Structure 1
Amino acid sequence: MRIAVTIFLTDETIAPARLARELEQRGFAGLYLPEHTHIPTERTTPYPAGGELPREYGRTLDPFVALGQAAAVTERLGLGTGITLVAQHDPIDLAKQVATLDHLSGGRFTLGLGFGWNVEEADDHGVEWRTRRDLVRDRMGIMRALWADEPTAYEGEFGSVRASFAYPKPVQKPRGPVSGPRTLVGGAAGPKLFAHICEYADGWLPIGGRGLSESVPVLRAAWADAGRDPAALQVVPYAVHPTSGKLAHYADLGIEETVVQLPPGGEAEVLRTLDAFQVHVS
């Protein structure tokens, strides 16, 4: 099984380039970075994990800038977001960022995307919370049109783009209905989430990796009903605290990649954790 990592990189943690070099040298498969543009101090939205919101949420580096630095000092390491808050981006700008990173890294980028949990953060971006999932669907349609080989227009409920010249193109080639880099959708299991995955993604990024014995067969059935290639579906458990038993269980489910959670610490703490995780890297 491929073992990638995720970490809240901040102005107080290990630097992206240092971490990326260590990951590649140690045989880890990839580096996924989360995104929060800001955390309003008058937030009323509860932290999904319960308790106080950890300090690092308000200090995260921009994932695309940090991953660009990581790409520049590695040759094989996968690079991903976990997750990009697509509703909070201009889709034309985001399409350019994604395509540029995939182009410059030689096709190593994975777009992990999600719908967010912080109502106040999204509101500052002008996002209507009730319709954010449909907004993301439209923005993915715009981005896919810009990534297409030929100038392609898109007209949606929440936005549109004219047929345009838009380069660079992502290195990765279309897979079924999906154009652009490998795309994984984060979120809790459910019919609407699985419908989005089957429509415009390559698979699912389930945070924590719980309940997969029940949910993965449901997703596979929805995937087959949508006419997608059964062998192409990817399920990548995310922000996992690994044990040998847990990873073996994932392997039994046909999962080929897991993203494990690193602490948002300085160089010494992060490298100690990588030493501990090394036992899981084949």
Structure 2
Amino acid sequence: MRISTTIFLTDETITPVRLARELEQRGFAGLYVPEHTHIPVSRETPYPPGGPLPREYGRTLDPLIALGQAAAVTERIALGTGITLVAQHDPIDLAKQIATLDHLSGGRFTLGIGFGWNVEEAADHGVDWRSRRELGRDRVALMRALWADEPTAYEGEFGSVRASHAHPKPVQKPRKRKGAPPLTGPRTLIGGGAGPKLFAHIAEYADGWMPIGGRGLTETVPALREAWEQAGRGPEGPQVVPYAVHPSPGKLAHYRDLGFAEVVLQLPSADEAEVLRTLDAYAQYL
């Protein structure tokens, strides 16, 4: 099982370059980073875990730029978002940024996508909260048209693009789907709480699920696999990557027994010294 990490990189933490080098030298498998473009100070939406919103939420670095720096100083570690708020982006611009990062990193990028929790942040991007999941689905479909080998047009509910020359292409090869066009572009994982709607979206247009914290997976993963089979997806099953995990030997053994190939451990949003101490503590799991 691969041991990756995630961190809220900010203007006050360890830098992407320093962290990426340390991860690769120590043998960790990857680096995932989250996204918030801004946090409106009105704070009408409560923080999901409860209590005050941690400082780092309003100070996050742009994830694709940070991962670009990480890619430039490493050769092996995987690079990913956990998650990209796809509905809040222009999909043509985002498709170009993702394809460029995957190209320059040699195919090391994982696109983790999600639908957000902060209503005010989404509203400032013009996102109608009630339709954000459908909008995100549409955004991904449009991006995949641009990533296709041949110029491909897309006409969706929320956006469209003409058949276009769009390079570079992502390095990662299309994944076949029975009775549907292949999935183009980087490996795509969808984050969010377990439920029929989320699992239907994963089975329709993603490679797997990125559950936060990884609790209750013994009960929920069979439901995801059932949705996967009903959608006619391949026998290999959906990838499940527990995310932002605070590890223990028993927890990681449980994930291994469930057949997971990767887990993403939470690092503190902190300065270099504290992050490196945490990596030292996590080394026992490598």
TM-score by length of 1: 0.99
Alignment of 1:29-178 (within 5 A): 29-176=29-176, 177-178=182-183
Q: Assess if the C-alpha contact under 8 Å between 1:220 and 1:230 holds in 2.
A: no
- Counterparts of 2:50 and 2:183 in 1: how far apart (Å)? 35
1:199 match: secondary structure: helix
AA at the equivalent of 1:98: I
Which residue of structure 2 aligns with residue 26 of structure 1? 26
1:46 offset after TM fit, Å? 0.5
AA at the equivalent of 1:279: Q
- Counterparts of 1:18 and 1:46 in 2: how far apart (Å)? 33
Q: Assess if the C-alpha contact under 8 Å between 1:39 and 1:121 holds in 2.
A: yes
Give the count of matched residue pairs. Answer: 281
- Counterparts of 1:77 and 1:112 in 2: how far apart (Å)? 16
- Counterparts of 1:47 and 1:210 in 2: how far apart (Å)? 19
Please list the CA deviations of residues 127-168 of structure 1 after superposition, one character each: whole Å capped at 9, or x if unmatched.
Answer: 000000000011011001000001111111111111111000
The answer to whether the aligner puts 1:218 opposite 2:232 as a matched pair is no
AA at the equivalent of 2:141: G
- Counterparts of 1:26 and 1:234 in 2: how far apart (Å)? 25
1:229 offset after TM fit, Å? 1.1
Gaps of 5+ in 1: none
1:15 offset after TM fit, Å? 0.4
1:246 offset after TM fit, Å? 0.3
AA at the equivalent of 2:264: V
The structure 1 segments of at least 4 consecutive aligned residues displaced by more than 3 Å after TM superposition are none
TM-score by length of 2: 0.97
Gaps of 5+ in 2: 177-181
Root-mean-square deviation (CA, aligned residues, Å) is: 0.6
2:126 match: secondary structure: coil
Please list the CA deviations of residues 2-57 of structure 1 after superposition, one character each: whole Å capped at 9, or x if unmatched.
Answer: 00000000000000000000000011000000000000000210101110000000
AA at the equivalent of 2:209: W
Identity %: 79
Please list the CA deviations of residues 64-114 of structure 1 after superposition, one character each: whole Å capped at 9, or x if unmatched.
Answer: 000000000000010000000001000000000000000000000000000
